[in-house]
Chain A
Amino acid sequence: MPFSKDKKPLQAPPTEEKTVRTEGLFFKCDNCRQIIWKKELESNLNVCPKCDFHFKIGARHRLELLFDEGQYQEFDPNLTSTDPLNFFDRKSYRQRLEETQKAVGTKDALICARGKLGGREMIICAMEYSFIGGSMGAVMGEKITRAIEAALAEKRPLVIVSASGGARMMEGAFSLMQMAKISAALARLDEAGIPYISILTDPTTGGVTASFAMLGDLNVAEPGALIGFAGPRVIEQTIRQKLPKGFQRAEFLLEHGMIDAIVPRKELREYLINAFKFCLS
């Protein structure tokens, strides 16, 4: 049955957004248009085995991939937004939060965990893009700040894996101020000589990029990740012209000297192990 569907003339995806379309056991890669076994994609860390396109992965999956034997202890899982603005657009933020919490299975868009990487104790925070676009409100700000303070107190290195559209509108200036709060905590970590590596994955934009995601001792990106301050649509509307191909992709940032390295997902663990060997005895 899936084949009959796939024989339809191929349509270009509506936006540049790449998604995995699962139809039973198969999926069609929106990047290379090839049809691949879903199992094969999963065993390849959600990277297309034909074209190497890096699809998004959830926070828990990410932590499993990075920590030794996929073992970690989550901390601060229960922090949740108080909806400080009592925000309402077409529906209430409170309702949006409840629905998202139910659908995603986390209280907000970030998971913080302790565990070992290459035998070394560390703290890794990973974002959950499916939770309101990985947006940063007071909960993410507080959790990252606590993670930094824990790294400082326990003298453990810190890794933050970003996947976020930026600050969360529904928490207004509270969201904005998280940028300053986290950056201030990172100043302390920096002074204490504790390494922090920022991993920028698709997409990392707005207030997340304009704060901690660009403040790593090393800032490394996954191939093809969209990384920027302003979103491509905002820029297009402002300058009223089409953006060049590949604009704001990881390769573009590397070329412009804005990131330190592009590391494929399957090499990320090894990269971090080596980098921390450089930073620490």
Chain B
Amino acid sequence: MTDDPSRLPPGSDPDTVDLEDVKKQVHELRKRMGSRLTPWERVRLSRHELRPYTLDYVERLFTHFSEIHGDRRFGDDPAIVAGMALFHGEPVAVVGQQKGRNMKERLLRNYGMAQPEGYRKALRIMKFAEKFQRPVITLIDTPGAYPGIGAEERGQAEAIAYNLREMARLRVPIVCVVLGEGGSGGALGIGVGDRILMLENSVYSVISPESCSAILWKDQEHAEEAARALKLTPDYLYEFGLIDEVLPETGDGAHTDHATAAKTVDEALQRHLAEVSRLDPEERSRLRYEKFRRMGAVAEAAAKESLA
């Protein structure tokens, strides 16, 4: 692709083409190919009941996975799994939301909707990793944090808020992958890291299309339109600079081929972990801050224009 000068941005020299440009071109190409799916179809795929879940990846990507339970305050939330493992022989901490594939599992995992103790467990394991200088991998797949009486009583909001602040300053590498549903604050509660990757048929949104329809259209009938309006698919989020890479899925999607999906995630994790692990902790911390600091800067430019 790089040897065709017509594909390069105007004025660029083929010999000095930088990797970022190539990545952008690949992204454009993929976007055109993937655009046959509507945002709503992507939402449906992100929730597909045969889609690989966190533990399916854990099984394929890691060895010696040993689960760590509980928040040491209230309980153990099965909607979030966490533990130590070896990733290509290196110790890492893994944290992720877990959904269930049958009714029994779904109830046990509460459909991947965590309680405050899930978020507190997640952070506890991340701090454990920090103490021993091990990187953290988080796998995101949740409709959202659980909206229930007990969750509110035990501080759902506080648990998520605290994770956001503490993850921002964790001194070890953090790479986050959105596997399926990136449901709002419940996803972000384990989603602050040096890199945020998304599988092609995953979504990341401030609100579910159904709830958005209920609030803005005053009915449940406009979820499809809401899905389009929210621009919750990885292609848009990459364009907006909110995520770092879109991981392609083969065939009709990850649900048809768990092994290939795992291989894709494996390769991307290795690459990104290697990149962020090379940085010294001060530098990494600064870059992580700047990464989030830039998000939403679009509003700033317009304000300057309007002042002029």
Q: Scoring A residues 64 to 99 as 1 if CB is less than 8 Å from chain B, else 0, what string do you get?
A: 000000000000101111101101111000000000
Once bound together, how far apart are the Cα atoms of A229 and B276, in whole Å? 33
List B contacts of A171 (CB < 8 A). 206, 296
B17 contacts the other chain (Cβ, under 8 Å)? no
Once bound together, how far apart are the Cα atoms of A174 and B215, in whole Å? 19
Q: Choose from A82, A85, A209, A227 the contact partner of B301 (Cβ within 8 Å).
A: A82
Of B154, B215, B231, most buried by chain A (CB within 10 Å of CB) is: B231
- A210 near B298: Cβ-Cβ < 8 Å: no
- B157 near A228: Cβ-Cβ < 8 Å: yes
A177 contacts the other chain (Cβ, under 8 Å)? yes
List B contacts of A256 (CB < 8 A). 153-155
- A184 near B168: Cβ-Cβ < 8 Å: yes
A275 contacts the other chain (Cβ, under 8 Å)? no
- A84 near B240: Cβ-Cβ < 8 Å: yes
Q: How far is the CB of B216 from chain A (nearest CB, A)?
A: 4
Known: A187-B165, A229-B152. A181 touches B185 (CB 8 A): no
List A contacts of B188 (CB < 8 A). 176-177, 179-180
Q: How far is the CB of A176 from chain B (nearest CB, A)?
A: 4
Known: A179-B185, A229-B151. A214 touches B295 (CB 8 A): no
Q: Which of B118-168 contact A (CB under 8 A)?
A: 145-149, 151-158, 160-162, 164-166, 168
Q: How far is the CB of A162 from chain B (nearest CB, A)?
A: 11
Q: Which residue of A lies closest to B297 (CB)?
A: A142
Q: Which of B223-258 contact A (CB under 8 A)?
A: 225-226, 229-232, 237, 240, 242
B212 contacts the other chain (Cβ, under 8 Å)? yes
Q: How far is the CB of A14 from chain B (nearest CB, A)?
A: 15
Q: Scoring B residues 163 to 204 as 1 if CB is less than 8 Å from chain A, else 0, what string do you get?
A: 011101100000000000000110011011000000000001
Of A76, A88, A173, A243, most buried by chain B (CB within 10 Å of CB) is: A173
Q: Which of A109-160 contact B (CB under 8 A)?
A: 137-139, 141-142, 145
Q: Which of B282-299 contact A (CB under 8 A)?
A: 288-289, 292-293, 295-299
Q: How far is the CB of B191 from chain A (nearest CB, A)?
A: 8
Interchain Cβ contacts within 8 Å, total number: 203
Q: How far is the CB of A237 from chain B (nearest CB, A)?
A: 9
- A145 near B293: Cβ-Cβ < 8 Å: yes
A172 contacts the other chain (Cβ, under 8 Å)? yes
- A180 near B164: Cβ-Cβ < 8 Å: yes
Once bound together, how far apart are the Cα atoms of A90 and B138, in whole Å? 37
Interface residues on A, range: 35 or more
B25 contacts the other chain (Cβ, under 8 Å)? no
Q: Which residue of A lies closest to B213 (CB)?
A: A89
Q: Which residue of A lies closest to B144 (CB)?
A: A230
B306 contacts the other chain (Cβ, under 8 Å)? yes
Known: A78-B303, A142-B299, A176-B206. A169 touches B215 (CB 8 A): yes
B302 contacts the other chain (Cβ, under 8 Å)? yes
B54 contacts the other chain (Cβ, under 8 Å)? no
Q: Which residue of B lies closest to A96 (CB)?
A: B216
Number of chain B residues whose Cβ lies closer than 8 Å to a Cβ of chain A:
61
Known: A183-B164, A187-B169. A80 touches B299 (CB 8 A): yes
List A contacts of B277 (CB < 8 A). none
Q: How far is the CB of B307 from chain A (nearest CB, A)?
A: 5
Q: Which of A227-250 contact B (CB under 8 A)?
A: 227-230, 234-235, 238-239, 243-244, 247-248
Known: A228-B152, A258-B158. A85 touches B296 (CB 8 A): no
Q: Scoring A residues 157 to 169 as 1 if CB is less than 8 Å from chain B, else 0, what string do you get?
A: 0000000000111
List B contacts of A267 (CB < 8 A). none
- A172 near B205: Cβ-Cβ < 8 Å: yes
Q: How far is the CB of B190 from chain A (nearest CB, A)?
A: 11
A266 contacts the other chain (Cβ, under 8 Å)? no
- A183 near B211: Cβ-Cβ < 8 Å: no
Known: A84-B240, A209-B157. A169 touches B162 (CB 8 A): no
- A90 near B185: Cβ-Cβ < 8 Å: no
Once bound together, how far apart are the Cα atoms of A84 and B225, in whole Å? 17
Q: How far is the CB of A80 from chain B (nearest CB, A)?
A: 6
Q: Which of A39-81 contact B (CB under 8 A)?
A: 76, 78-81
Q: Show 10 residue pairs from A and B whose CB-CB distance is below 8 angstroms, ordered by the A residue.
A: A171-B296, A173-B205, A178-B295, A183-B168, A184-B169, A185-B293, A210-B185, A229-B152, A238-B148, A258-B155
Interface pairs A-B: 10 shortest CB-CB: A138-B296, A230-B147, A184-B168, A183-B164, A209-B157, A229-B157, A89-B216, A229-B156, A214-B161, A177-B295
Interface of A with B (CB < 8 Å)? 76, 78-82, 84-85, 87-90, 137-139, 141-142, 145, 167-169, 171-181, 183-188, 190-191, 206-207, 209-215, 227-230, 234-235, 238-239, 243-244, 247-248, 256-258
